[in-house]
Amino acid sequence: MVNIRSATRADIKAVHGLITELAVYEKEPDAVIISAEDLERHGFEENRFDCFVAEEQGTVVGMALFYERYSTWKGPTIHLEDLYIQPQHRGKGTGRLLFDSVVREAKRRHAGRMEWTVLEWNEPAINFYKTYNASLDPEWHLGTLNSAQIQSFQ
Amino acid sequence: MVNIRSATRADIKAVHGLITELAVYEKEPDAVIISAEDLERHGFEENRFDCFVAEEQGTVVGMALFYERYSTWKGPTIHLEDLYIQPQHRGKGTGRLLFDSVVREAKRRHAGRMEWTVLEWNEPAINFYKTYNASLDPEWHLGTLNSAQIQSFQ
C-alpha cells in the first residue's frame, strides 16, 4: 500500500538520498553539491520548494519535488524539478500517484502551465509523460553558466 | 548611450510590449495571455521576478527578466526567462550589457547556477551565449501540460 503525503523535515535525509540516486541514474553522480542540511534549510526555512513523498510500509520510496516559476506568457507556473521512484518499487503506479498529486496542486493554484524536463534517452519517463498527452519539445536547448563561471565573472 | 537599470512600475507597458515582440520572434504570436496589469501585479506586488531594462534616449529598447529557481543539485539558481532587444537597436552591445547585469546579480546572490533556454534555430542567440563559454545542452527536452490540461485534470 502506497501513501502519498507532503514531505516533512523528518523526510529530508531520505529525500536527499533519492536526489543522489536520481543524479546517478542521470549519469551525473557528482552533480549533487548540496547537503541534506542545505536541503532542509532551502525547503523548510526559505520555502524554496514543496515536495510530495511516496511511503511504503513506513519507508520513503519516491518523491516529487516542485516549486513555482514565472512565465512571461502564462504567468505563475508549476515546475516539477525531480520525480523519482526507487527501481525496486516501480511498476505499481507510484510515479503516477506522485505526478497526479503535482498536477492537482497545479490545478489548485491555478497554474498557467506545469513544466519539467526529461533526458532525451529516458524512454520510460518519456512514455510515461505521453500517457498524460504532455507536450515534449526538443526545440528548446538549455543554456547554463556554472557556479565557477558566475563567481569569476567581472 | 545605453543605460541599464532595474525596471519600475512605469516600465511595465514597455516591458509587456517587448515580451509580445519576443513571442512573435519565437513564432508564438498568440502565446502571451497575461496582460500588462497581470505583469505589474506579478512583478511588483507578488515579487515573482526581477527585470533589468535597457534605455536609449528615454525609451526602453530591451529587457532581461529573471527570477530565482531551485536545483536539487546546486541549490538556489538564477533563471533568465527572457532576454530581448528590439531589432533596430541591436549590434551595439546592449544585449551584452543586459546579460552581464544578470550574471553579476547571480554572482551577488551566490547562485549555484544561472540557466536559460534558447530555441535551437536561434543562431544569433546561440552564438552570443557561446561567447560566454556557456554550456548549451540539447539533451533535456521540455515537458509541459497546458492550463486547459491542468484545469480539466481529475
Give A26→chain B minimum CA distance, Å.
Answer: 11
Percent of chain B with pLDDT over 90: 92
Residues of chain A with Cβ-Cβ distance to B48 below 8 Å are: 68, 70, 76
- pLDDT of A91: 93
Q: Could you tell me the CA-to-CA distances from A142 to A61, A65, A120 in Å, in that order?
A: 29, 20, 13
Q: Could you tell me the CA-to-CA distances from A100 to A48, A51, A104, B65, B88 in Å, in that order?
A: 21, 13, 6, 31, 46
Q: Are B5 and B55 in contact (CB under 8 A)?
A: yes
B13, burial (CB in 10 Å: exposed 0-12, middle 13-18, buried 19+): middle
8 Å CB contact of A116 and B151:
no
Residue B143 is nearest to which of A71, A100, A115, comparing CB atoms? A115
8 Å CB contact of B33 and A74:
yes
Q: Among all chains, which residue has been given the C-alpha cell 551566490?
A: B110
pLDDT in tens, B25-75: 989 999 999 999 999 999 999 999 999 999 999 999 999 999 999 999 999
- Give start and end residues of each alpha helix (H) in chain B: 12-25, 36-44, 94-108, 123-130, 147-151
- In the predicted structure, residue B150 carries a pLDDT above the cut 90: yes
**Among B67, B70, B129, B132, the one annotated catalytic:** B129
Mean pLDDT of B6-17: 98
Give A6→chain B minimum CA distance, Å.
Answer: 17
Residue B133: closest C-alpha in chain A: A145
Q: Are A142 and B115 in contact (CB under 8 A)?
A: yes
Q: Are A117 and A139 in contact (CB under 8 A)?
A: no
Dihedral sign, Cα of residue B1, residue B6, residue B8, residue B12: positive
Residues of chain B with Cβ-Cβ distance to A38 below 8 Å are: 75
pLDDT in tens, B93-138: 999 999 999 999 999 999 999 999 999 999 999 999 999 999 999 9
SS3 content of chain A, % helix, strand, coil (to 5): 35, 35, 30
C-alpha to C-alpha distance for B144 and B154, rounded to whole angstroms: 17
- pLDDT of B67: 98
The ranges of chain A with pLDDT < 50 are: none
Residue B103 is nearest to which of A28, A121, A153, comparing CB atoms? A153
Q: How far is CA A25 from the centre of its chain?
A: 14
pTM: 0.95
Which amino acid is present at B141? H
C-alpha to C-alpha distance for A103 and A21, rounded to whole angstroms: 24
8 Å CB contact of A149 and B129:
no
Give A56→chain B minimum CA distance, Å.
Answer: 23
The span from the first CA to the last CA of chain B, in angstroms, equals 55
8 Å CB contact of A104 and B151:
no
Give A109→chain B minimum CA distance, Å.
Answer: 10
- In the predicted structure, residue B154 carries a pLDDT above the cut 90: no
- pLDDT of B126: 96
- For residue A148, the tally of other CB atoms under 10 A from its CB is 8
Q: Among all chains, which residue has been given the C-alpha cell 506522485?
A: A98
- pLDDT of A154: 84
Q: Are B38 and B51 in contact (CB under 8 A)?
A: no
- Give start and end residues of each alpha helix (H) in A32-139: 36-44, 94-108, 123-130
C-alpha to C-alpha distance for A43 and A8, rounded to whole angstroms: 9
- pLDDT of B153: 87
Enumerate the domain spans of chain B: 2-151
- Assign a CATH topology to domain B2-151: Aminopeptidase (3.40.630)
Query: Is B25 considered catalytic here?
Result: no
